[in-house]
Structures are given as structure tokens and as C-alpha cells.
Structure 1
Amino acid sequence: MKLVNWSYARRYNIKAIFDEFPHVVVLFRQIGGYYFIYSMKGLTPEHVPGRRDYVQMEYLLNRELGMLEAYLQRKTR
């Protein structure tokens, strides 16, 4: 999976699009020095990401923004 595009959105959110789910806009929010998935728009019943996909999306965005260390040190890991 690759991070295709990301941009800042309203209220401290980041919008991102990934190549495996190009029709889905993933919204991230910051907590504790890293970003996590807050919501998704454009999901279809045929293409629902699994837990592994969520973790990979969070990893890629945090790496892109230079917050990977905080993401790897999170408590819920």
C-alpha cells in the first residue's frame, strides 16, 4: 500500500488517499504526538479495509509526517 496524497483539513484533521482504496478518503486526527484514523468516507461494502490495512495506513501517514517514533511508542501497540 502507498500513500497517494494527503492534505490538511478542517479542525486539525488530515485527509489522505491510499492506492489500494482510491475511492476512500481517510480522515486522521492527532493524539499524543501521532495521527490515528478518525473516520473514512466513501466506503463500499465490497472494499472494506481490515485491521491490518488500518495499521498500515496509520504507519504510512505518521512516517510521512515525521511522527513515526511517537506512533511506534503508543500504549495500544
Structure 2
Amino acid sequence: MELLNVSYMKKGRIIGFFDKFPHSNVLFSRVKKYYFVSTVYWDERDEVVTRADLKKMELLLNSYFGTESNYKNRKAWSE
């Protein structure tokens, strides 16, 4: 999966576009110093989004913005 593009919204939220889900948009919100998936605007033309897909999306977006180390240092990170 690859991050194709990002779009900025109000209040620090970001919409991400991914090649694996071309018809679905993913809304990210910022928590402290990293981003997490807030909402997936899923389209029936795409496959079902799994928990592993959500984690990969978060990792890709945080890597894009340079906040990957903050994302991995959070309490819930287990890898």
C-alpha cells in the first residue's frame, strides 16, 4: 500500500488517499505529536479495510510527515 496524496482540512485534520483503496478517503486527526485514523469514508467498490490496513495507513502518513518516531513511541505501539 502507498500513500498517494494528502489534503488538509480545518482543525489540523488531514484526508489521506491510498492506492489499495482508491475510492475510499481516510480522515486522520492529530493527537499530541502524531496522527491516527479518525474515520474511513469507505466505498463499496473497495475491499473491506482491516485493522492491519489501518495500522499501515497510520504508519505511512506519520512517516510522510516525519512523526513516525512519535507514533512508534506511543504507549499502544506493539511491534
CA shift, 1:45, in A, is 7.8
Structure 2 stretches lacking a partner, 5+ long: none
d(CA) in 2 for partners of 1:36 and 1:30? 6
TM (normalized to structure 1)?
Answer: 0.92
Match of 2:65 in 1: 65
SS at match of 2:10: coil
Aligned residues: 77
Q: Which runs of 4+ in 1 moved over 6 A?
A: none
Q: Is the 8 A contact 2:14 2:28 kept in 1?
A: yes
Match of 1:5 in 2: 5
Higher helix content, 1 or 2: 2
Aligned-residue sequence identity (percent) comes to 38
SS at match of 2:48: coil
| Aligned residues: CA RMSD | 1.4
